[in-house]
Structure formats: C-alpha cells, structure tokens
C-alpha cells in the first residue's frame, strides 16, 4: 500500500543508484544546464540564434527574417540577454545583436549534427 511514497523502499539496484548519485553534479548545476537547453528549445529563439551565429543583426531585420513582429523578437531577445546568450551594441536608434558566447554556436552545431544523423523522421 502507499505505493507512491517516492519509491524509497523498492530500490532495484541500490549500488548503481548510489554510484550515480555520487557522480551527479550539484542540483544547481543541472538546473542551469536545463535552463541553457530550455532557452535553445523554442523554434523562434533557435531561429534567432542561428541567424545571429551567421551575422550580427538588428531587431527589425530579425523580425523581417522570421516573419514576425519586433515585439515578439524583442521579448525573446530580452530573455536571451538575461541569460547572457546574446549581447548587443547600440548604433543610434538601431540595436545590433550578436551571440555572446562561442559555446552557443557549438551547441547549435552539435545539435544540427544530431539532427542529420537521425535521418528522416521514423
């Protein structure tokens, strides 16, 4: 009874679990890892980031490229900025965005190679 008690009693392989637990990074680290992937895990943002991996672009040009509004792009850029994924410079009233970190480009590349290795959808 009370089966949903977090499965504490019924450990199948305690040794393995303990070993994995000891080799697991801090909660905080894995949380930030998830956060990093989450920010890449949206079609709009991934398109923005892929574009910025090719070229520094202003908000209006990004919006035009994606076929969406400046507002939507600006909201996403704010998120990306707050997580230090993109940086910007102002030139008059125009704001140019670019990737803040080479790791993001690497992740995009690694992700794309994962995609292409998967072949066509099942």
Site of interaction with a second copy (CB under 8 A): 4, 6-8, 10-13, 16-17, 19-21, 23-25, 29-43, 45-47, 50-51, 54-55, 57-58, 60-61, 63-65, 67-71, 84, 94, 101, 103-104, 106-108, 110-115, 117-118, 122
Burial class (CB in 10 A: 0-12, 13-18, 19+), 88: middle
DSSP 97-122: EEES-HHHHHHHHHHHHHHHHT-S--
> % helix / strand / coil in the chain, to the nearest 5?
60, 10, 30
Q: How far is the CB of 108 from a second copy (least distance, A)?
A: 7
Q: How far is the CB of 63 from a second copy (least distance, A)?
A: 4
Nearer CB in complex with a second copy: 38/89? 38
If contact means CB under 5 to 8 A according to the sort of partner, which of a second copy, DNA, none does residue 87 touch?
A: none
Angle, alpha carbons 16-22-28 (nearest 5°): 125
If contact means CB under 5 to 8 A according to the sort of partner, which of DNA, a second copy, none does residue 54 touch?
A: a second copy
């Amino acid at each position: 009874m009370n089966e949903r008690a977090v499965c504490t009693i019924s450990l199948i392989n305690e040794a393995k679990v303990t070993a994995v637990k000891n080799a697991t990074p801090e909660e905080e680290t894995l949380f930030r890892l998830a956060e990093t992937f989450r920010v890449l895990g949206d079609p709009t943002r991934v398109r923005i980031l892929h574009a910025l991996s090719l070229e520094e672009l202003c908000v209006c040009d990004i919006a035009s490229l994606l076929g969406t509004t400046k507002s939507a792009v600006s909201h996403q850029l704010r998120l990306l900025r707050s997580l230090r994924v993109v940086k910007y410079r102002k030139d008059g009233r125009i704001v140019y965005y670019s990737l803040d970190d080479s790791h993001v480009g690497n992740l995009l590349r690694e992700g794309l190679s994962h995609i292409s290795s998967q072949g066509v959808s099942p």
